[in-house]
Amino acid sequence: MLSIGKLSGLTGVKVPTIRYYEQIGLLPKPERNEGGQRIYNNTSRERLNFIRHARELGFPLEDIRELLALSDNPDQSCDAIDAIAKRQLAEVEHRLVRLNALHKELERMIVQCTCGTVQTCRVIQVLGDHRLCTADHQKIMSHDIDQ
């Protein structure tokens, strides 16, 4: 049996995050000892590792909830799981396109800067006037900002 601190240390997930995952139902409510402290078992540790890894891969919490529900029924088809993973891959590919556009724009701003004064700094000029950009990264990045 593991305390919340020990579980946190073993999984790399902070204590408040563990409590949050319990609150939103990703982790089941743990048993408590006589002193009222949470106690966790290896199943909780494995589930928390699953959640942490899925978050590292960028899966949103609702997809993780669905993946966990599907993984609780190991005899069913994995078509739904594949669909979730493919959707996440498409999102990552979309982010890469957006990041590449941002990379090119930042690179262009820096190359065009003459390293003179702040008054003539191309970086400051471009940041102050989006019309000086070559790509419409406002639309490209609005999805990330809104999330």
pLDDT digit string, tens, across residues 86-101:
999 999 999 999 899 8
C-alpha–C-alpha distance, residues 81 and 74, integer Å: 11
Question: Which residues 6+ apart lie within 8 Å of 49 measured at CB?
Answer: 11
Q: Which pLDDT does position 57 carry in this prediction?
A: 96
Please tell me the least confidently modeled range out of 11-20, 57-66, 114-123: 114-123
| pLDDT above 50 (res 147) | no
C-alpha–C-alpha distance, residues 141 and 2, integer Å: 42
Strand intervals (E) in the chain: 31-32, 38-39
- Which long-range contacts (C-beta less than 8 Å, at least 24 apart) are formed by 28-34? 30/4
Q: Which pLDDT does position 145 carry in this prediction?
A: 47
CB 44 within 8 A of CB 7: yes
Task: Convert the pLDDT of each residue in 78-133 to its tens digit.
Answer: 999 999 999 999 999 999 998 998 898 888 888 887 777 887 788 888 888 888 78
Whole-model pTM: value is 0.76
